[in-house]
């Protein structure tokens, strides 16, 4: 396994876009982690200096100030913490649950598959918002509540995707060959089918990260987001979009950061796909 | 014009929504109507007499007022309407409006089962008599409010809940309801037979654009002829403050921070006073930028009874002193409380600012709890949190509508504050017909509310912000935010 | 095929029943009632209103009353819009969202899938990176930012398209494009990944070596097989597009259904919440059935059970 991991990382190093993306993500994550410590920027995130309400970007405030006179750069740094946490945790939880669930359904087929897919259908059919309001009321409108709400809605797509891949792969010769040899089902699924179905799944996962960041943003757009003064890129974007014409710095910086993060995850996901897939020749 | 949202109903007995009011006042006429300065002018009633020291009103109706189906408007239509308003089966939100009328409250609370016992009777086709339990200085204003407009019994009974559909409704005002595309727009057209003369506009389109920046873009592209606060975000004001189309008019709408005085730590009035003195009200106009004024008293300054100094002045030093007297020196040991507010763009700015000021001036950290509108209302009603943000828009132009709010047992008094002196002052002010004496009582009560007891911290009074296209003339706005469109005309240069 | 459809319908009914029951319980768990209006209603009046709508009965009784009405096709009444039934409300709003959603879906498919396929074939070139950049913008910008940008650019600056409202076909363009942005981006990324996957399969290499022209190889075999993951996600995408997007309908002031998923919950308009959920569920079952039929069409070897 160590061998394999080294190869994956080694392969990624040979894909320049993915390698750069990996570093960008690492830096953003580092900033997010550092924001937990009391370094100068985070403190300004809440300080009120009403003398400079809605100041444009300048030397004093590199990204300008918001309606309450808070430094936007500080807010963005502080906000990275929540956005990155939400994006990554949701993606990982969704990936794990969804892959296992979809693999079982797709591999087993028959009645079990039908039953499991009906459960996915049901989970899909409940309005996300209803589930989110409920969780917000029961657990509170904090980070944890939002994480839970998003995680509960993120696994279903992956499950369907993996299942579809598995149904398709089941008829491939190499799987049938393995089955004919009497290999263990779990082994077949893990060794032969999973690696071959990961391409679209990993791409889907790199979509889950921005989807979660955006879902959180949509939640604050409709008024169900975080309680202030806590903030995330999503809340900053949803608070700032009306200022597009008057104070574009309020929307430009958070949106650009979401964009950069998502782009990096895409390139990384692309690289990962190649690195994991044993048949890709580079 | 832009309504902002879909009116929940335009049945003037069941709805309490301001949006519904904007439609209703333009299709209907009541006994009286507001002039521009909010005094009462005759409408369906040609004149009225105040008898028995203010305990009996006689309204003399015009004989040339007709419903849109041609039938005359009679005193019996008012009698039926007022009974329907109080009938508990109607479920009218404004039923308590007529509480001063004989038997009104009793009928609404099922204590008097016979609705004909209501102290409001048609003596003949053109005479309507109202008997009050005690004199009420503000009573005449109620007859201009849409909750007291007449209703046609036969129409309501024939169509039931659907009587307000454009196909069924029968009205007596300047415009007729012709089209209602739900959640999108309402169209009104001129009533040719309106008793004050046909209005200048042939047609009014009332769109329901919820997003302020969208509504504003529609105004810029000439799709809307005027926009008001509903279509003004704080950002747009910055761009248009200097535009010749921009106007600002007073509004009887006050915002406040309320305390639940039964809950720790705000059961101690020293803590409440400390919070009141730690908030610099002058900051709110700078944040909201729509012409808000810091509150000097709970009664807005446009109304008799308002005072320039009823609220506690900003004084961080004294605030810290009172907080320390209450047992929290420099905010030490102050319990964790969350300030509840309804999630809207402008309220968010206000509470975030309050949070920061209390931290800086008192050293206390309060949390903020935002709830969506409905949950917020439910929470406030069932179990008011220790501290919350709220606002109140006057129902009629009198201090009573603001001051009655904080009397013992008022359904909207979420502070649970109860003060015998205050209640007595408000009750006697309502019956006092000498305006000067009345104003003195309100001033005294205002001081008890905002200063001595600090049950609430009034924060600011809003204004109405308007952008009107140069071709729209005669828009008459008043401080109650009731928009009468019968005087409006559109001149030739309008692009369409 | 017929028995497959029959089976699907037999499965759909209990699924819908479960969804109806689950939603019924969930909406009543959320605090706040339908009559918490802006000005407080006196308690006697709330009691009257609740009696009028059977809300004073025990919950299980309300449940059976509701199921009975549902079986007769009566979706109930709206508590907030007193003179309209839920059937009226859905009947007014759903066609609008359906129309907008189908236009958006068409744009998304016809932009997203070719973009992804072109990117895959030209992998690693400038074309690929350009496609990646565009699709990243599509998924990383919140739709309210995209919408605000489009309104500003095409509506206010260039004045070539209406900024909002729902009056003529021109009014549909900006909202449909806004709506299509995210799914188009998603479809293009998915298509790209899936086409790459297939291009590396042994049988594709064999087909290529057999001397078939490059183009027909791609069209005949690759696209067909690559579409499996793509149409998998089309089910939920279609269902959510045609039931309306709150954000898009909100910023363009369109009288569609998307708002009900938000306002009905906000208003605790129980029957309306139930109806929107059930409609969404029904559409999802329908589109997913179509997806499974699509599987059979694309790859007859796949065994899909009802």
- Cβ–Cβ gap A129/C265 under 8 Å: yes
Q: Check residue A154 and give its pLDDT.
A: 79
Q: Check residue C209 and give its pLDDT.
A: 67
Q: What separation in angstroms does the CA of B39 have from each of B61, B138, B140, B479?
A: 19, 11, 9, 12
Which residues lie across from B246 on neighbouring strands?
B467
Q: Check residue C305 and give its pLDDT.
A: 43
Q: Check residue A38 and give its pLDDT.
A: 60
Q: Check residue B372 and give its pLDDT.
A: 67
Place of tokens 């509170």: A140
Q: Check residue A43 and give its pLDDT.
A: 47
**Is-contact B186 B209, C-beta < 8 A?**
no
- Cβ–Cβ gap A227/B348 under 8 Å: no
**Is-contact A227 B370, C-beta < 8 A?**
yes
Among A139, A140, A223, A241, the residue to mutate for chain B (most B Cβ within 10 A): A223
Omega within 30 of 0 (cis) for the link into A229: yes
Q: Is the pLDDT of residue A47 over 60?
A: no
CB pairs under 8 A between A and C: 162
Q: Is the pLDDT of residue B194 over 50?
A: yes
Sheet harboring B127-131: ordered strands across?
B45-51, B56-61, B127-131, B120-124
Distance (Å) from the alpha carbon of A183 to chain C's nearest alpha carbon: 22
Structure-token pair, residue B486:
């019968």
Task: Label residue B318 by pLDDT band (50, 70, 90).
Answer: very high
User: C31-60: per-residue pLDDT in tens?
Assistant: 666 766 544 566 666 777 777 777 777 778
**Is-contact A15 A271, C-beta < 8 A?**
yes
Q: Check residue C204 and give its pLDDT.
A: 65
Distance (Å) from the alpha carbon of C17 to chain B's nearest alpha carbon: 28
A128: closest chain C residue by CA: C261
Instruction: Let me know the angle formed at the C-alpha of B173 by B167 and B174, rounded to the nearest 5 degrees.
Output: 100
Residue ranges of the alpha helices (H) in C30-58? Answer: 43-52
Distance of CA C188 to the CA centre of its chain: 18
**B65 vs C75, more confident:** B65
Domain with CATH 3.40.190.10 in chain B: 1-225+469-496
Average pLDDT score over residue span A17-27 = 87
Task: Kindly report the average pLDDT of chain C as a whole number.
Answer: 81
Residue ranges and CATH numbers for the domains of chain C are 86-256 (1.10.3720.10)
CA distance B283 to B301: 19
Residues of A in contact with C200 (CB under 8 A): 277, 279-280
Report the CATH number of the B1-225+469-496 domain. 3.40.190.10
Indicate the pairing of strand B203-207 with strand B185-190. Answer: antiparallel
C39: closest chain B residue by CA: B16
User: B58-104: per-residue pLDDT in tens?
Assistant: 999 999 999 999 999 999 999 999 999 998 888 777 888 888 899 98
Structure-token pair, residue C163:
């900024």
Q: Check residue B12 and give its pLDDT.
A: 87
Q: Check residue A137 and give its pLDDT.
A: 66
- Cβ–Cβ gap A157/C236 under 8 Å: yes
Residue ranges and CATH numbers for the domains of chain A are 2-276 (1.10.3720.10)
Structure-token pair, residue A133:
């309001």
Domain with CATH 3.10.105.10 in chain B: 250-463
- Which of A113, A128, A279, A275 lies closest to A202 in space, CA to CA? A275
User: B266-308: per-residue pLDDT in tens?
Assistant: 999 999 999 999 999 988 888 888 888 999 999 998 888 888 8
Nearest to C83 among B91, B162, B378 (CB): B162
C283: closest chain A residue by CA: A125
User: C157-192: per-residue pLDDT in tens?
Assistant: 888 888 888 888 888 999 999 999 989 998 998 888
Task: Label residue A282 by pLDDT band (50, 70, 90).
Answer: very low
- Cβ–Cβ gap B91/C52 under 8 Å: yes
Produce one character per residue of B149-163: b if its CB has 16 or more CB atoms within 10 Å, e if not: bbbbeebbeebebeb
Q: The complex's ipTM?
A: 0.78
Percent of the residues in chain B that have a pLDDT greater than 90, as a whole number? 42
- Cβ–Cβ gap A258/C140 under 8 Å: yes
Q: Check residue B313 and give its pLDDT.
A: 92
Instruction: Let me know the angle formed at the C-alpha of B4 by B251 and B190, rounded to the nearest 5 degrees.
Output: 90
- Cβ–Cβ gap C163/B221 under 8 Å: yes
**Is-contact A100 C232, C-beta < 8 A?**
no
Q: Which residues contact C303 (CB under 8 A, 6 or more apart)?
A: A109, A167
Distance (Å) from the alpha carbon of A161 to chain C's nearest alpha carbon: 6
**Is-contact A246 C148, C-beta < 8 A?**
no
Distance of CA B493 to the CA centre of its chain: 35
User: C246-303: per-residue pLDDT in tens?
Assistant: 889 988 989 888 878 777 776 778 888 888 888 888 888 888 888 888 877 776 655 5
Task: Collapse the DSSP code of C235 into the 3-class scheme (helix H, G, I; strand E, B; otherwise coil) and give the result.
Answer: helix
Distance (Å) from the alpha carbon of A257 to chain B's nearest alpha carbon: 23
**Is-contact B197 B209, C-beta < 8 A?**
no
Q: Check residue C217 and give its pLDDT.
A: 61
**Which range is least confidently modeled, A131-135, C104-108, C127-131?**
A131-135
Q: What is the dihedral of CA C177, C182, C186, C187, to 10 degrees?
A: -20
User: B410-435: per-residue pLDDT in tens?
Assistant: 778 889 999 999 999 998 998 888 88
Report the CATH number of the B250-463 domain. 3.10.105.10
Distance (Å) from the alpha carbon of C54 to chain A's nearest alpha carbon: 23
- Cβ–Cβ gap A48/B360 under 8 Å: yes
> Does residue B287 belong to the interface with chain A, where contact is any CB pair within 8 Å?
yes
In this structure, what are the phi and psi dihedrals at residue B122, rounded to the nearest 5 degrees?
-85, 120
In this structure, what are the phi and psi dihedrals at residue B287, rounded to the nearest 5 degrees?
-80, -45
Average pLDDT score over residue span A223-249 = 80
């Amino acid at each position: 396994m160590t061998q394999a991991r080294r190869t994956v990382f080694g392969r990624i190093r040979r894909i320049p876009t993915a390698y750069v993306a990996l570093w960008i993500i690492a830096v953003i994550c580092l900033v997010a982690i550092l924001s937990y410590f009391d370094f100068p920027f985070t403190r300004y995130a809440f300080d009120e200096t009403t003398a400079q309400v809605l100041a444009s970007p300048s030397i004093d405030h590199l990204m300008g100030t918001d309606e309450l006179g808070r430094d936007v750069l500080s807010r963005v740094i502080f906000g990275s913490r929540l956005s990155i946490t939400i994006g990554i945790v949701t993606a990982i939880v969704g990936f794990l649950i969804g892959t296992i669930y979809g693999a079982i359904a797709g591999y087993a087929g028959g009645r079990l598959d039908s039953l499991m897919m009906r459960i996915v259908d049901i989970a899909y059919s409940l309005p996300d918002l209803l589930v989110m309001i409920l969780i917000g009321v029961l657990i509170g409108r904090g980070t944890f509540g939002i994480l839970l709400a998003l995680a509960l809605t993120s696994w279903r797509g992956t499950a369907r995707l993996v299942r579809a891949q598995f149904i398709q792969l089941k008829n491939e010769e190499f799987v049938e060959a393995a089955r004919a040899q009497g290999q263990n089902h779990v082994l077949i699924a893990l060794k032969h089918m999973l690696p071959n179905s990961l391409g679209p799944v990993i791409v889907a996962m790199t979509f889950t990260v921005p989807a979660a960041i955006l879902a959180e943003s949509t939640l604050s757009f409709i008024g169900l987001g975080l309680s202030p003064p806590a903030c995330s890129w999503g809340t900053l974007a949803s608070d700032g979009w009306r200022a597009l014409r008057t104070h574009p710095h309020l929307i430009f910086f958070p949106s650009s950061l979401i964009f950069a993060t998502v782009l990096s995850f895409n390139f990384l996901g692309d690289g990962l796909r190649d690195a994991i897939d044993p048949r890709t020749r580079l | 014009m832009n309504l902002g949202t879909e009116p929940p109903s335009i049945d003037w007995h069941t709805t309490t929504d301001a949006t519904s009011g904007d439609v209703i006042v333009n299709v209907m006429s009541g006994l009286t109507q507001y002039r521009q300065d909010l005094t009462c002018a005759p409408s369906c009633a040609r004149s009225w007499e105040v008898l028995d020291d203010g305990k009996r009103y006689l309204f003399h109706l015009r004989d040339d007022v007709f419903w849109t189906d041609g039938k005359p408007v009679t005193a019996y239509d008012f009698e039926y309407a007022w009974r329907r308003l109080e009938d508990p089966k109607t479920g009218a939100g404004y039923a308590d409006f007529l509480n001063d009328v004989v038997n009104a409250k009793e009928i609404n609370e099922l204590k008097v089962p016979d609705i004909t016992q209501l102290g409001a009777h048609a003596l003949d086709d053109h005479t309507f008599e109202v008997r009050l339990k005690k004199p009420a200085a503000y009573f005449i204003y109620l007859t201009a409010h849409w909750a007291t407009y007449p209703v046609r019994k036969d129409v309501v009974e024939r169509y039931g809940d659907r009587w307000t559909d454009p196909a069924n409704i029968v009205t007596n005002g300047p415009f007729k309801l012709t089209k209602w595309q739900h959640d999108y727009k309402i169209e009104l057209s001129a009533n040719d037979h309106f008793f004050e003369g046909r209005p200048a506009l042939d047609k009014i389109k009332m769109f329901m654009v919820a997003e302020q920046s969208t509504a504003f873009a529609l105004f810029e592209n000439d799709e809307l002829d005027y926009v008001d606060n509903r279509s003004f975000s704080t950002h747009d004001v910055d761009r248009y403050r200097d535009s010749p189309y921009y106007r600002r008019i007073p509004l009887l709408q006050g915002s406040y921070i309320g305390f639940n005085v039964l809950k720790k730590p705000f059961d101690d009035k020293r803590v409440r006073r400390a919070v009141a003195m730690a908030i610099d009200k002058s900051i709110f106009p700078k944040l909201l930028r729509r012409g808000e004024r810091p509150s000097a008293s709970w009664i807005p300054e446009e109304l008799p009874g308002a005072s320039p100094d009823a609220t506690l002045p900003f004084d961080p030093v004294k605030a810290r002193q009172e907080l320390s007297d209450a047992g929290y020196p420099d905010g030490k040991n102050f319990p964790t409380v969350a300030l509840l507010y309804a999630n809207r763009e402008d309220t968010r700015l206000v509470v975030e600012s309050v949070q920061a000021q209390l931290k800086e001036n008192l050293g206390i950290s309060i949390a903020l709890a935002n709830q969506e509108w409905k949950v917020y209302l439910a929470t406030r009603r069932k179990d008011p949190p220790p501290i919350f943000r709220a606002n109140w828009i006057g129902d009629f132009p009198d201090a009573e509508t603001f001051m009655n709010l904080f009397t013992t047992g008022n359904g909207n008094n979420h502070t649970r504050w109860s003060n015998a002196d205050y209640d007595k002052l408000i009750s006697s002010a309502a019956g006092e017909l000498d305006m000067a004496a009345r104003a003195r009582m309100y001033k005294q009560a205002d001081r008890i509310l905002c200063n001595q007891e600090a049950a609430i911290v009034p924060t600011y009074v809003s204004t109405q912000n308007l952008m009107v296209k140069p071709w729209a003339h005669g828009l008459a706005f008043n401080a109650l935010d009731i928009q009468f469109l019968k005087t409006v005309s559109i001149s030739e240069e309008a692009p369409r | 095929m017929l028995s497959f459809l029959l089976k699907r319908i037999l499965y759909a009914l209990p699924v819908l029943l479960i969804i109806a029951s689950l939603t019924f319980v969930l909406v009543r768990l959320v605090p706040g009632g339908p009559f918490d209006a802006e000005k407080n209603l006196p308690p006697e009046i709330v009691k009257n209103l609740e009696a009028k709508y059977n809300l004073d009965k025990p919950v299980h009784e309300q449940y059976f009353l509701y199921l009975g009405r549902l079986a007769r096709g009566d979706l109930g009444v709206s508590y907030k819009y007193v003179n309209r039934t839920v059937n009226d409300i859905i009947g007014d709003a759903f066609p609008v969202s359906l129309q907008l959603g189908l236009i958006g879906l068409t744009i998304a498919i016809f932009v997203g899938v070719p973009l992804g396929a072109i990117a895959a074939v030209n992998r690693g070139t400038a074309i690929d990176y350009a496609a990646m950049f565009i699709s990243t913008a599509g998924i990383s910008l919140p739709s309210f930012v995209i919408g605000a940008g489009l309104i500003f650019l095409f509506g206010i600056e260039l004045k070539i398209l209406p900024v909002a409202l729902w009056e003529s076909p021109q009014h549909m363009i900006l909202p449909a494009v806004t709506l299509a942005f995210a799914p188009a981006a998603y479809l293009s990324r998915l298509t790209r990944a899936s086409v790459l996957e297939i291009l590396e399969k042994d049988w594709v290499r064999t087909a290529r070596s057999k001397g078939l022209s490059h183009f027909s190889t791609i069209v005949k075999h690759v696209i067909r097989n690559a579409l499996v993951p793509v149409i998998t996600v089309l089910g939920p995408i279609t269902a959510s597009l045609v039931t309306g997007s709150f954000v898009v309908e909100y910023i363009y002031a369109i009288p569609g259904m998307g708002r009900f998923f938000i306002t009905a919950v906000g208003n605790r308009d129980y029957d309306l919440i139930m109806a929107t959920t059930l409609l969404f569920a029904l559409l999802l079952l329908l589109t997913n059935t179509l997806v499974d039929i699509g599987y059979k069409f694309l790859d007859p070897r796949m065994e899909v059970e009802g």
